[in-house]
Amino acid sequence: MKHTFWHHVITVLVLEAENFLWIFVSITLAVSGFVIFANTYYLFFKAAVGLPLILAGVFAFILKMNSLFIDLFDFKKIQHLCKFCHTS
C-alpha cells in the first residue's frame, strides 16, 4: 500500500502523543526522585532510591525530547512505522 499524506499525519500524531506521555512520565519520575532525595535523612536511601530515580527521569526526558523532533522530520522512519502500510 502506498504511504499517503493522511497516513503520515496520523502516524505523526500517534508518535507525538506517545512521546508526550513518556515525557510526562519522565518528569514525574525525576520530580519524585528529587522529593525522595531532598526529604530523606538516610544517606543510603538517598543514594539507592532518590538519585537513580532522578537520573532515570532526566535521561528518559532527554531521549524522548530527541525522539519528539526525529519523529517530526524523519520521513523514512515515519513511513517504516506506518500501521496502515504494514498490516499483516
Output the tens digit of pLDDT for each of the chain's 88 residues. Answer: 788 888 888 989 999 999 999 999 999 999 999 999 999 999 888 899 999 999 999 999 999 999 999 988 888 888 888 877 876 5
Residues contacting residue 24 through CB under 8 Å, at least 6 positions apart: none
Is residue 61 assigned to a domain? Answer: yes
Is residue 86 assigned to a domain? Answer: no
Q: Rounded to whole angstroms, how far apart are CA atoms 40 and 15?
A: 37
Number of domains in the chain: 1
Full domain range(s) for residue 66 = 5-81
Is residue 87 assigned to a domain? Answer: no
